[in-house]
Amino acid sequence: MLEALSQPKELSALTVPRIGMLAACILVAMGSGTNYVAYAPQLGERLKLTHTHLNIVGIAGNIGVFSSAPVWGRFADRYGPKPLFATAFVSLLGGYSGIRYSYQAGAIPSDFPLSGLSFALLALCNFMTGVAGTAGIMGSVNTTARTFPDHARASTTGLVLSGFGLSAFFFSTVAGLFSPGDTSSLLLLLTVGTAFPMIFGFFFVHPIPWPTNGGTPANRNVGSDLASRPSQSTGEANIHGWALWKTCDFWLCFSIFGLLTGTGLMYINNVGTISQALIAQANPDYDIAYAARVQAKQVTIVSLMNCLGRICFGFISDFTKHRLHRPRSYCFVAASTAFLLVQVVLQQSITDVESLSWGSAMLGFVYGGSFSLLPTLCIGYFGLGEFPFARFRVSHFSENFGFATLSPIFTGYLFSVAFGKTLDVHELSPTPHRCLEGSACYAEAFTVTILACSVALALSVWMSWRDWRRMDAEEVEYAVDVGYDGGYRASSKPGSCRRTVESG
């Protein structure tokens, strides 16, 4: 897997300072991950929240994650990662402390749910953790993108993003070892364990600029996915601001990413509830301790496979571009296809807790993979925006990436609320906040995500087709510019090219 990092490309990316910086970014990313799934069912039961309200609290965190991305991206581009890490420290400390306080206080009086104000404060605290998580991961990804060259960028950003995906597994495992079944202790661990990596990042995480050759950045995006019109001054794409919103490539990234990650968020936010529904099938007096262990197992599986997916898709993306010489967008076709198959399996075939683990593993893997693909696609389509007069050399990448990640705000909300309402409809009055119908409690919600993934697949195929035509056209244009056709011939079809082999 490290082949993409070690292949000779003018200079090696595997230097000790860069590897050390990569490790530091992964550590910060691990503290930035969203961990709501690790304690959501216990929080809902303690505070007597309906499944719809529980999903709204989770969505508040997701909105914090995605809505703040363009803001933090712009800050990272202009001022570097330090302001982001400082803000993340304060927000994580305050957010998780507030959630822990609400959990310990419980619902007062005990026979009624939280008041409107208390519920709003709970949602606000989860929103704060989402905003802080984005600040941490955006600072880490931005630093990584500026530290490594193009041929290793997807691999290294995938490694950093894997730390984000591993967060829930790490903290739930540590809490399970020292205080199993104690949700209050888990929230205390999250309060401290997520905040202090930000202090580490504040002092030790900073970009290591790639050396230049004759004033031209060595890690410029030459030979990129050829998905944007090159600027005349740099020979690479430089799209940002309002121009970004006018490009078809942006809206394709925005739509595909939103549909896929919204689907993943619906499942991840509710995997604990799904496991409880399967355990409680025709068994209202199930063992709560056993249910908690099953939930922890599902969280572990999703988190580990989320991490693995981010790593693998990063290396697959680099391999597709630099070895197969095909656009990175081909990987989105694979991700969309996998998402669609997983949704069908979850709806039709997962009917017990034992088989749920397979669904969690598949979903976690492709969900992590979709996150790993987006940063390098944004660079390929819109450029890094490197200028010699820019203070940190990268002027627009994180901002563009942030705008592209806004879409899950809408899809995550719609899909998660639909899931919660579906579950509430199937609950029986003798057992409030519990459904005893097994997979029938939530199966209808997967119909929505199956349709969403089908649309994402169609858009991914269109995106790849556009990139394939554009890449071949750019190859022919380059051959003409250097005065050597390399065996290329223009086809008779306008706007397309094909490569032919000349004899003799």
Give all domains of the chain, ordered by start, each with its CATH number.
13-208+228-499 (1.20.1250.20)
Structure tokens at 281: 């099938």
Residue 386 gets the label, from left (phi > 0), alpha (psi -120 to 50) or beta, of beta
**Residue 94: exposed, middle, or buried by beta-carbon count in 10 A (0-12, 13-18, 19+)?**
middle
Q: What is the mean pLDDT of the chain?
A: 80
d(CA 274, CA 267): 8
d(CA 121, CA 128): 10
d(CA 488, CA 340): 38
**DSSP character string of 430-478:** TSTT---SGGGGTHHHHHHHHHHHHHHHHHHHHHHHHHHHHHHHHHHHH
What's the confidence (pLDDT) of residue 218?
44
pLDDT in tens, 217-236: 444 443 333 333 333 334 45
pLDDT in tens, 248-277: 999 999 999 999 999 999 998 888 888 888
* Residue 497 φ then ψ, to 5°: -140, 160
What's the confidence (pLDDT) of residue 454?
97
What's the confidence (pLDDT) of residue 89?
96
Q: Which is higher by pLDDT, 379 or 114?
A: 379
What's the confidence (pLDDT) of residue 336?
96
d(CA 333, CA 329): 7
Binning pLDDT at 50, 70 and 90, where does residue 495 land? Answer: very low
Is 90 exceeded by the pLDDT of residue 216?
no
What's the confidence (pLDDT) of residue 136?
94
What's the confidence (pLDDT) of residue 492?
38
Q: Any idea of the CA torsion for 134, 136, 137, 139, to the nearest 10 degrees?
A: 110
Please state the pTM of the whole predicted model.
0.75
Is 50 exceeded by the pLDDT of residue 158?
yes
Long-range contacts at 117-122 (CB < 8 A, ≥ 24 apart): 119/49, 119/53, 119/57, 122/47, 122/57, 122/98
**Which residues, listed in sequence order, are joined to residue 489 by a DSSP beta bridge?**
498
What's the confidence (pLDDT) of residue 481?
56
What's the confidence (pLDDT) of residue 172?
82
Structure tokens at 490: 């223009």
d(CA 416, CA 270): 8
Structure tokens at 275: 């496991």
Strongest mean pLDDT among 155-164, 418-427, 444-453, 495-504: 444-453
**Region of poorest pLDDT, from 81-90, 194-203, 395-404:** 395-404
- Overall size of the chain counted in residues: 504
Binning pLDDT at 50, 70 and 90, where does residue 203 land? Answer: very high
